[in-house]
Amino acid sequence: MNHEDLIRYVEVIHRDKDIPKEILFRVLEDTLAQGVRKRLGVGEDLVVKINRESGEITMEDDEEEYEFDLSVLGRIVAQAVKQGFTQRVREAERDVLYDEYEARVGSLLNGVVQRFEGDFVVVNLGRVEALIGKEDRVRGETYNPGDRIRGLLVEVRKEGSRVKLFMSRTHPDLVRRLFALEVPEIADNIIEIKRVVREPGYRTKMAVISQDPKIDCIGACVGVRGSRIKAVIDELRGERIDIIRWSDSLETLIMNGLKPAVIHLDNIFPDVDAHRAIVIVDEDQQSLAIGKKGQNVRLASKLCGWDIDIKTRAEFEGGGDESADYDALDTDDESDGEAPSAAETQAPAEGASAEN
């Protein structure tokens, strides 16, 4: 290989694997130097240098500089140098991929379902593959090879010479990123998503606030005739989304979070020491506030960061301070407190709820 061939060789690897040329030159210098040291039995003071423009190779130690001659390596050592260079290039490629995707943790990735490996769905992203584990897949969602899929990048790992990417379809930030794509006001930081809580595949509650008093944060997220929220719901394959207005007042936030149930502010009693709030509701609002299997109150509790107990006036006055086990609760209210679909109105009320 002459000097021009060496330059072309580095250029080809740089172009195909997107590894910076300087890294490739340094790897080549290191592997050649290791081969020469092994062949000649000299110490670490001998180094090899490659001219980045001409491709000319020289050797030097503490005393003088020599012109490099490949024949000094011999066939066996030359083969070892080639293998070492190939291995180092793989490691450099891994490091480049790792740095690229590590910087993108928390962002959306688009890919194509490639195959299944044990409990993992393997997604082809082009230059690299990503894995979606069982715990990061929504119950009830099915995938087939060739399906396009979108997920949130949650972790990047180095394993040997490979980089492993892990995606999630269940992470709350997936909803956050999808709305940022559909709602320009979110991307422009005019509307801020304060908090997102999910029961993946079933329901999401998202609290938003507008930095511009002229812009309705809920209406902007829903879109004209529900166009924006519908795009997110379609991506989540029908998951219900409740959009509520954020408030720094705990009582107001609880009231908004429990919608579509109608709650009065003077019927909310926070216990600061226990980090718990008792909410008194009318009997006809109790099932709406609790939701099917306790889903509505459970998500509202996560959204507010406080435990919420729903009681009727009779239950409250009747005494007893035990908390309801909403995780185990199963109501017969199949409507789950559904409000009219946000896609059916241009100006939905606060606590807008939409379903596909």
Identify the domain boundary among 168, 185, 211: 168
pLDDT in tens, 3-48: 777 888 888 988 888 888 899 888 888 888 888 777 766 667 778 8
pLDDT in tens, 181-205: 999 999 999 999 999 999 999 999 9
pLDDT in tens, 287-307: 999 999 899 999 999 999 999
Instruction: Name the band, by pLDDT with cuts 50, 70 and 90, for residue 63.
Output: low
Task: Work out how many domains the chain is built from and give that number.
Answer: 3
254 within some domain = yes
Q: Residue 62 is part of a domain; what is its CATH number?
A: 3.30.1480.10
243 and 119 in one domain? no
Q: Which residues are within 8 A (CB) of 114 and not within 5 positions of it... i.e. 6 or more apart?
A: 122, 123, 124, 129, 145
b/e map 129-139, b = 16+ CB within 10 Å? bbbbeeebbbe
260 and 157 in one domain? no
32 and 159 in one domain? no
Q: What is the pLDDT of residue 346?
A: 34
pLDDT in tens, 212-242: 999 999 999 999 999 999 999 999 999 999 9
101 within some domain = no
Q: Residue 152 is part of a domain; what is its CATH number?
A: 2.40.50.140
333 and 238 in one domain? yes
102 within some domain = no
Q: What is the pLDDT of residue 355?
A: 42
339 and 206 in one domain? yes
330 and 298 in one domain? yes
Q: Which amino acid is at 91?
A: E
pTM of the shown model: 0.77
Structure tokens at 249: 């007042």
192 and 314 in one domain? yes
Instruction: Name the band, by pLDDT with cuts 50, 70 and 90, for residue 90.
Output: confident
303 and 195 in one domain? yes
Instruction: Name the band, by pLDDT with cuts 50, 70 and 90, for residue 88.
Output: confident
Q: Residue 324 is part of a domain; what is its CATH number?
A: 3.30.300.20
CA atoms of 252 and 168, how far apart (whole Å): 32
pLDDT at 322 > cutoff 70: no
Q: Domain range holding 124? A: 108-168
pLDDT in tens, 97-151: 999 999 999 999 999 999 999 999 999 998 899 999 999 999 888 999 999 999 9
CA atoms of 19 and 16, how far apart (whole Å): 8
Q: What is the pLDDT of residue 146?
A: 94
Q: Provide the pairing of β-strand 120-124 with 191-199.
A: unpaired
